[in-house]
Amino acid sequence: MSTVELHHDIQGEGPPLLLIAGLGLSSGAWATVAPALAQSYTVITVDNRGTGRSPVPEGPYTIDGMADDIAALLRSLDLGPVSAVGWSLGGSLLQSLLINHGELIDKAVLLNAFPSYTKVQDAWLDAGLILRQSGLEPAALAVQGLAWALTPRALTNHEALYETQRMAAEMDPHPTSYEGYAGQAAGLRVYDSREQLPTVTNKVLVLAGAEDTLTPPWQSVEMAELIPNAHLQILPRGNHGMILEYPDDTLAAITAFLSRPA
C-alpha cells in the first residue's frame, strides 16, 4: 500500500514531539493540550489517513500502512528522532512505528493503548460503525461514546455535556466521514502487536487510567511486560479520555517521562 501525504501542523519550540490521535479523530483532538506542550516542545500534530484535511482513500486501511504515512512525513520533516505520544488507535500506530521505523522515534508514550482487540472492543466498534452509517446527528453520536471516554464525575451534568458536544460538532470544519472511520476501524480490529513488541528497543512509557473501561489497565500491563525498556504508569483517576478530563495529571506524567535523562 502506497503512503499518502498527511496534513500536519507544527507549533512551539524545543525538542520535537509528535502527537498521534485516536480512531476517527483528527489533529483537533489535541487542541486543548497542544498549546501547553508547545511551551517546551516543537509539537507536530497530524491528521491520520481518513481524517481532517488528509486524503480519504478507499479502505480498508492497515495499521502498518497508516504508520508508514507518518514515517514518510517524519522523514520529509527531517527533524531527527522525535518523541511521540500515541493515544488509543494512535497508540497502535506508534507501536507499528516502534516496530518498523524505530530509528525515527526517540521516546514513546503509549496512552490508553492496547496490543490487540478483545471481543468487547469488537462489539463497541460494530455499534459505532452502525451508528455512523445511520446518519445520526453528530452531537448525539458523540454523546453515545462519552461513557467509554469519561468518568462519572464528568457525565452527570447532562445539559453542559450535551452543549459541549453540540458546539464541538458545529466547530469541526473537517468532520470524519463514514468511509474514513470505517477504513481505520478495519485495520484496528485485526492489528496484533504482541509477537513483535519484544523487538522494540526504544524507551517507552505505557500510561493508562485506572478507570479506563474501553482499554482496561490490564492491556497496558500486557504491553509493558512485552516491551523490554517499558515503564508502566497507571494514574488513579481517568477513563479512556483522561487526556481531556484530567489533562494536568496526564501531561505531568508525559512530560516527566520525556524529560527524564536517557
- Reported as a single tens digit per residue, the pLDDT across 8-67 is 999 999 999 999 999 999 999 999 999 999 999 999 999 999 999 999 999 999 999 999
Catalogue the E-assigned strands of the chain. 8-11, 16-20, 42-46, 82-87, 105-111, 204-209, 230-235
Q: Which of 1-10, 92-101, 201-210 has the lowest mean pLDDT?
A: 1-10
The CATH number that applies at residue 131 is 3.40.50.1820
Query: Does the residue 50 lie in any domain?
Result: yes
Q: Which of 90-94, 113-117, 169-173 has the lowest mean pLDDT?
A: 169-173
Percentage of residues of the chain with pLDDT beyond 90 = 92
231 forms beta bridges with 205
Query: Does the residue 234 lie in any domain?
Result: yes
Interatomic CA distance for residues 157 and 110, integer angstroms: 30
Q: What pLDDT is stored for residue 85 in this prediction?
A: 99
Nearest in space to 27 (alpha carbons), one of 52, 6, 49: 52
- Reported as a single tens digit per residue, the pLDDT across 158-169 is 999 999 999 988
Query: Does the residue 221 lie in any domain?
Result: yes
Global confidence as pTM: 0.97
Q: Which domain holds residue 178?
A: 8-258
Number of domains the chain is built from: 1
Over residues 199-203, the mean pLDDT reads 98
Q: What pLDDT is stored for residue 135 in this prediction?
A: 87
CB atoms within 10 A of CB 232: 17
Q: What pLDDT is stored for residue 261 in this prediction?
A: 84
Query: Does the residue 252 lie in any domain?
Result: yes
- Reported as a single tens digit per residue, the pLDDT across 210-234 is 999 999 999 999 999 999 999 999 9
CB atoms within 10 A of CB 247: 13
Query: Does the residue 3 lie in any domain?
Result: no
Q: In which residue are the cell numbers 522515534 written? A: 105
DSSP summary character for residue 176: P
Query: Does the residue 2 lie in any domain?
Result: no
Cell numbers for 5: 501525504
Contact 250, 224 (CB under 8 A): no
Q: At 1, is the pLDDT very low, low, confident or very high (cuts 50, 70, 90)?
A: low
What does the CA dihedral 74, 79, 85, 91 come to, rounded to 10 degrees?
20
